[in-house]
Amino acid sequence: MSYHLIDAVERLGRPRLLVVGDLIVDRYVWGDAERISQEAPVILLHEQRQEIRLGGAANVAQMVKGLDAEVTLLSVIGADEEGRTACRELQRLDIDCGSVCIDDTRPTTLKTRYMGSAQYRHPHQMLRVDREVRTAITTGLATRLLNQILPHLHEFQAILVSDYGKGLCTGELLRPLIKAARAAGIPVIVDPASHGKCEAYQGATSVTPNRLETTRATGIEVRTVPDAFLAGKALCDQMGLDYAFVTMDRDGIALVHKDGRGEHLPTRPREVCDITGAGDMVMAMIGVGLGAGLEPADLGRLANIAGGLEVEQIGVIAISREEILADLMKSHRSHEGKVLSLAALQRHVVARQKTGQKVVFTNGCFDLLHAGHVSYLAEASREGQCLIVAINSDDSVRRLGKAPDRPIFDQEYRGRMLAALEVVDYVIVFDEDTPHALLHALKPDVLVKGGTYSAEEIVGREVVLAYGGTVKPMGALEGLSTTEIVRRLREQDATVLSMTAHVSHSSPTSDTPAGTLGLERKAA
């Protein structure tokens, strides 16, 4: 599955997304928790530095941007310094904030976190102070926001609604927006507020609630995957959704379609440092994938990875595509999906080289896989972090003139055999007489060849050296080659057939019918 998801990440492109929701400013006060105060039984924090970060829907927009997508934010700030700071940060990140409106009747939502460390350990949150109002925006402001964005709705491939319950995501704003998006064929994903009231989300494409939010919205307590399937179907029915993602922290995601079909998308265990921002990262990954046209199950799988990488960080960090690709490449190797077309393999090679991996390339017929091949492929794999094996097609093998009855095994069988080796990352079949076209297209870092070749004799050497790659001959196990093995097998077969004929001729009354040994040999 990881090979399929790597290809999906490489096909994301640069969709443009609209993020709608409550803008929050997060202020972090970092310090050393030195001692207990003499004035009261509280920890005394010696402040060392302060940091301002984007939160809420602004953080979702930041994470979308971190995934190399274009993003516009539709939100509200107060007429205060925190609002101005947020807009400056959005502009610095190249996030379109032209649709962020000022409401001078409310402050910009500010969360101040005091982060203390003691005895040089990891810092931990000691206290959070919130400054906010949760009253709903006025009808006039909702109309103003709609007038800002509806004329430009056709510019977006997906809409994300990030409702933090601060009063922006009212029915007066969301219902006309969702209706217009549906009419334009633009998917809408909602990360609902924790209060469980979902009337404003009617008609959305999907929602991404966690266990608690799902329980509050449906009245169904979500403890197990079957619970999530039941609750997910209820969400689809209540809101007219196409499907729902019920996020279940360590248990992954339950994907439920409106027809009741459920699919559990598990996640692998992670070392959890900080859960802050994980839901926003899941939302951003689903949105970018949806804007690129990925299937819901793949959206959920990639969201699991993105959210998992987020909880391994301290604080809110935007996860990049390269980090997701690197995580996919570390996952368990399976022979499924290793045999690729050139177009798909090019995307994989680019992805691996982006993450700093060295790509190794070798080629051959590999007609009869033997210990010599296995030894040299293991040696080749140690030259980098990714090994590509290119095999000659059946027609190409015949043109090489190995023998009239070669190849012994067809290209599909040979590809499956090589893909089953753990040291091999990818297999590709080529029909040309040389691998030159593949080398030009893939540009591997290292070209290797097993056997008795010198570096100067390796076919394709000049192509790889021209773009700065390396060419290296591998060793060979003495007396092992496909041609030699086939010759010895044929000699043995001829000897057995000769003995059978002799026995048949000299013992006509034997209980063994004439020619039986020869037939058994062929059957074996």
Tell whether omega for the bond before 407 is within 30 degrees of 0, i.e. cis. Answer: yes
Report d(CA 217, CA 235) in Å as an integer.
Answer: 8
What does the CA dihedral 471, 473, 474, 479 come to, rounded to 10 degrees?
160
Distance between CA atoms of residues 361 and 474, nearest Å: 12
CA-to-CA distance for 253 and 258, rounded, in angstroms?
Answer: 16
Task: Provide CB contacts within 8 A for 70, sequence distance 6+.
Answer: 14, 15, 16, 17, 96
User: CA-CA distance, 356 to 351, in Å (whole number)?
Assistant: 9
C-alpha R_g of the chain: 31
Alpha carbon of 167 to those of 58, 111, 138: distances in Å? 15, 16, 9
* Catalytic residue list: 280
Residue 438 dihedral angles phi and psi, to the nearest 5°: -65, -45
- As a three-state string, the secondary structure of 308-352 is HHHHCCCCCCCCCHHHHHHHHHHCCCCCCCCECCHHHHHHHHHHH
Helix (H, G, I), strand (E, B) or coil at 26: strand
Neighbours of 253 (CB within 10 A): 29
Beta bridge partners of residue 386, listed in sequence order? 359
* Helix residue ranges per DSSP H, 185-335: 211-218, 225-239, 278-291, 296-311, 321-330
> Residue 160: beta bridge partners?
19, 189
For residues 216 and 197, what is the distance between their CA atoms, to the nearest angstrom? Answer: 8
C-alpha dihedral sign at 366, 371, 376, 378 = positive
CA separation, residue 239 to residues 134, 138, 167, 243 (Å): 24, 24, 20, 10
How far is the C-alpha of 426 from the C-alpha of 363, rounded, in Å? Answer: 12
Please report the beta strands in 398-474, taking only residues with DSSP state E, as ranges in sequence order. 426-430, 446-449, 470-473
Tokens representing 27 are 């202020």
